[in-house]
C-alpha cells in the first residue's frame, strides 16, 4: 500500500535546524582561530540550505458513512527517526431528522515511539 502523502518530519526538522545553528556558531567562533581556507569552508557549509527530505509517511482516511458516522483516522511515521503519531476521531453527525444535540463524539490520539509531545491536527480552520 502506498502512502497518502510524504511530509517533512517535525522532529527531524527541529534537529536539522539545531544542527545548522550550531554549525553557524562554530563557524563564527572559528574566525581568526583557524586557517582562512578552513574558516571559509565552515562558513560555506553553515550557509548551505537545510536539506529537508520528506521522510514522514502520512496515511489518512476521512469521510461520513451511510449511517451518519463521521470519522477521521490519521497516522504518520518517520522513516529516519521513527517519530509516530496517530489521531482518530469519530462522531455521529446524524441522519435526516436527527437533532445536533444527539451527537456522540469519540476521539483518541496517540503518540507512538519517539514523540515527545502530541501534534495538533487542525481541521477546518483555513490554514
- Counting contacts by CB under 5 A, is residue 11 touching Zn ion? yes
Three cell numbers written together for 81: 527517526
- List Cβ neighbours of 119 (8 Å cut-off, separation of 6 or more): 10, 85, 87
- Counting contacts by CB under 5 A, is residue 12 touching Zn ion? yes
Contact yes or no for 83/56 (Cβ under 8 A): yes
Among 7, 46, 81, 92, binds Zn ion (CB under 5 A): 81
Three cell numbers written together for 92: 455521529
Touching Zn ion, residues 15-74 (CB under 5 A):
none
- Counting contacts by CB under 5 A, is residue 9 touching Zn ion? yes
Task: For residue 58, give the H/E element and its range.
Answer: strand 56-64
Q: How far is the CB of 96 from Zn ion (least distance, A)?
A: 45
- Counting contacts by CB under 5 A, is residue 76 touching Zn ion? no
Grid cell 496517530 is found at: 86
d(CA 49, CA 20): 9
Stretch that binds Zn ion, among 9-17, 32-40, 68-76, 91-99 (CB under 5 A): 9-17
Among 42, 76, 77, 78, binds Zn ion (CB under 5 A): 78
Q: Pick the closer one to Zn ion by CB: 12 or 27.
A: 12
Residues present in the chain in total: 127
Which residues contribute to the site for Zn ion (CB under 5 A)? Answer: 9, 11-12, 78, 80-81, 83
Amino acid at each position: 500500500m502506498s502512502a497518502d502523502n510524504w511530509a517533512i518530519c517535525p522532529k527531524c526538522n527541529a534537529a536539522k535546524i539545531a544542527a545548522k545553528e550550531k554549525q553557524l556558531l562554530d563557524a563564527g567562533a572559528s574566525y581568526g582561530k583557524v586557517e582562512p581556507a578552513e574558516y571559509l569552508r565552515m562558513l560555506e557549509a553553515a550557509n548551505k540550505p537545510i536539506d529537508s527530505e520528506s521522510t514522514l509517511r502520512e496515511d489518512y482516511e476521512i469521510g461520513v458513512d451511510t449511517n451518519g458516522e463521521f470519522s477521521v483516522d490519521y497516522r504518520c511515521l518517520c522513516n529516519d527517526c521513527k517519530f509516530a503519531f496517530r489521531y482518530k476521531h469519530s462522531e455521529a453527525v446524524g441522519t435526516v431528522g436527527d437533532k445536533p444535540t444527539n451527537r456522540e463524539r469519540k476521539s483518541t490520539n496517540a503518540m507512538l515511539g519517539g514523540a515527545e509531545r502530541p501534534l495538533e491536527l487542525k481541521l477546518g480552520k483555513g490554514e
